[in-house]
């Protein structure tokens, strides 16, 4: 239980730090947020818990494919904001787009030989 709490605290501190930096320096905050911190930390925790190269390789490869459908959200949200849509509707539409693209990926990937 202590190990789980430690993982949560370390991960939370990194996310909080990125958002605090972004308040003052939006570009630098975006750089920090764009780093694959969740993926890297997840791989570190997974490796510590289960040091299996085949499992880690499968995890890293699936992570690559799941990142791709999330990228259009980062184009849609600023476009909507610049065209007068409020933050929450823009955010919701960005999330909805990402969910739709995730569903499309999970349906399409096996048909083209991608293992997720």
pLDDT value at residue 7: 83
Q: Residue 112: which residues within 8 A CB-CB, separation 6 or more? A: none
- Residue pair 67/54 in contact (Cβ under 8 Å)? The answer is no
Nearest to 95 by CA among 73, 80, 113, 114: 73
**Domain that residue 73 falls in:** 53-116
In this structure, are 4 and 46 located in the same domain?
Answer: yes
In this structure, are 23 and 69 located in the same domain?
Answer: no
Higher pLDDT, 9 or 32: 9
In this structure, are 21 and 61 located in the same domain?
Answer: no
**Model pLDDT for residues 91-114, shown as the tens digit of each residue:** 999 999 999 999 999 999 999 999
pLDDT value at residue 1: 82
Q: How many CB atoms lie within 10 A of CB 51?
A: 9
pLDDT value at residue 58: 94
In this structure, are 1 and 43 located in the same domain?
Answer: yes
pTM, two decimals, is: 0.78
In this structure, are 77 and 114 located in the same domain?
Answer: yes
pLDDT value at residue 48: 93
| pLDDT band (50, 70, 90) for residue 3 | confident
In this structure, are 79 and 115 located in the same domain?
Answer: yes
Give the C-alpha separation, 94 to 78, whole Å: 10
In this structure, are 63 and 101 located in the same domain?
Answer: yes
Give the C-alpha separation, 33 to 39, whole Å: 12
**Model pLDDT for residues 23-72, shown as the tens digit of each residue:** 999 888 888 878 787 788 889 989 999 999 999 999 999 999 999 999 99
In this structure, are 63 and 98 located in the same domain?
Answer: yes
- pLDDT at residue 84 is higher than 90: yes
Our count of domains for the chain comes to 2
């Amino acid at each position: 239980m202590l190990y789980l709490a430690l993982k949560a605290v370390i991960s939370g501190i990194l996310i909080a730090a990125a958002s605090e930096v972004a308040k003052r320096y939006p570009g630098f905050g975006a750089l920090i947020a764009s780093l694959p911190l969740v993926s890297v930390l997840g791989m570190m925790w997974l490796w510590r818990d289960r040091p299996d190269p085949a499992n880690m390789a499968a995890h890293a490869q699936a992570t690559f494919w799941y990142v791709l459908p999330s990228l259009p959200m980062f184009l849609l949200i600023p476009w909507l904001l610049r065209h007068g849509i409020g933050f929450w509707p823009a955010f919701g539409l960005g999330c909805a787009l990402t969910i739709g693209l995730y569903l499309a990926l999970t349906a399409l990937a096996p048909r083209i030989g991608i293992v997720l």
